Amino acid sequence: MARIITISREFGSGGREIGKRLADVLGIPYYDQEIIEEISKRTGYAEEYIKKISEKGITPYAIHLATSFSRYTSLENTQMEIIVAEQKVLKAIAKKGDAIIVGRVANEVLKNYNPMNIFVYADMKSKIKRCREKKPEEQYTDKQLEKKIKKIDKDRKEYYELISNNKWGDKTSYDLCINTSNVQIKSIIYPIARYIDNWFDSNE
């Protein structure tokens, strides 16, 4: 069976960097932009628009979609349409073979493919520091940056919990939870890659 690795992450925790570096070390394809392109092809929406909507919170109305489709606004319909396309794209990727996927509730959407699921998190101080290093051109105060980080994670949580019955970040949904506070991402890639290798070998 293909080796599917999903990485959920708090904003600023370095989860995306971990995903990309693991892909290099393990020689497993990392999917990100390709997912957006494929959703765009399937739905006809612009890539920029899809990026804006993906992993965003959704109005509670949309949760009841199944009951009465006609009651929803155009935005909510669009959001649901993109979610459905995203799930199809993720499954198509998993069918193709090994994959590393960051975010997108992939651990839940692909659970029939026995993925190894990782959650990456960190304390606020480390997340702020990492955001500053990544985008030194941004002129936020610490307070503004903290607010931004919390808002993005609130959106991710809402998006996750719309699709999953589990709580976003609850360790029982993940096989390994990595705290990147005060940790250099580079220095932990090799041990995580070995952990993943051995985890799959031990599960087969």
Structure tokens of 170?
Answer: 């609850």
Contact 115, 5 (CB under 8 A): yes
CB nearer to a copy of itself: pick between 82 and 116:
116
Q: How far is the CB of 37 from a copy of itself (least distance, A)?
A: 33
Angstrom distances, CA of residue 10 to CA of 15, 68, 97, 110, 129: 7, 34, 27, 20, 14
CB nearer to a copy of itself: pick between 29 and 169:
169
Q: How far is the CB of 174 from a copy of itself (least distance, A)?
A: 7
CA–CA separation, 99 and 95 (whole Å):
10
CB nearer to a copy of itself: pick between 41 and 194:
194
CB nearer to a copy of itself: pick between 30 and 121:
121
Q: How far is the CB of 29 from a copy of itself (least distance, A)?
A: 22
Q: How far is the CB of 177 from a copy of itself (least distance, A)?
A: 4
CB nearer to a copy of itself: pick between 112 and 202:
202
Q: How far is the CB of 89 from a copy of itself (least distance, A)?
A: 27
The two counts, helices (H) then strands (E), for the chain are 8, 5
End-to-end Cα distance, the chain:
9
CA–CA separation, 110 and 202 (whole Å):
20
Binding region for a copy of itself (CB under 8 A): 119, 121, 123, 169, 171-172, 174-179, 181-184, 187-188, 190-192, 194-195, 197-199, 201-203
Q: In terms of residues, how long is the chain?
A: 204
| Strand, helix or coil for residue 67 | coil
The dihedrals phi and psi of 117, each to the nearest 5 degrees, come to -110, 125
